[in-house]
Structure 1
């Protein structure tokens, strides 16, 4: 989604950090990141230092959006999630 949404505005210094989950260590996933010019970073086994930022964002997402409403269907969640991510990345004040 980021590649599609920001295709003309991606930083040359962009780094994707993931844990050692199978999806993040898959060859095709790494190839796709390389094709897009994105460096890949994977945390070391047994530590959680690299997960603090994603865990924080996920917590905010759940608190600020998901847990506040009763959702009628998946398409509504998808639409509102896209709007929240856009707001979070482009308008929200970050420390």
Structure 2
């Protein structure tokens, strides 16, 4: 169950990171509220997952999921250029996250 919570928390990291960018320095209400709620839920889930998982592994997986989803969303919505090298490197992060799960 800790891994499920950790993965959901990683997804929420991408949500709060994206909302932070869309809040324009907290000047827009809805993205600012989404940021705050997603941040609290993401950190809370990470804390719960860390009860059963090693801190280093949990944090690396959480950051990896959040980073890959944030960049993928940005590329999908045209906020960031897509390149084969970026996609390959994001695939490498995913492979490392899966690897951490397999050895843990």
Calculate the TM-score normalised by the size of structure 1.
0.32
Higher Cα Rg, which structure: 1
User: Which one has a larger percent helix, Structure 1 or Structure 2?
Assistant: 2
Between 1 and 2, higher relative CO (CA 8 Å, sep ≥ 6) is seen in 2
Calculate the TM-score normalised by the size of structure 2.
0.30
User: Which one has a larger percent strand, Structure 1 or Structure 2?
Assistant: 1
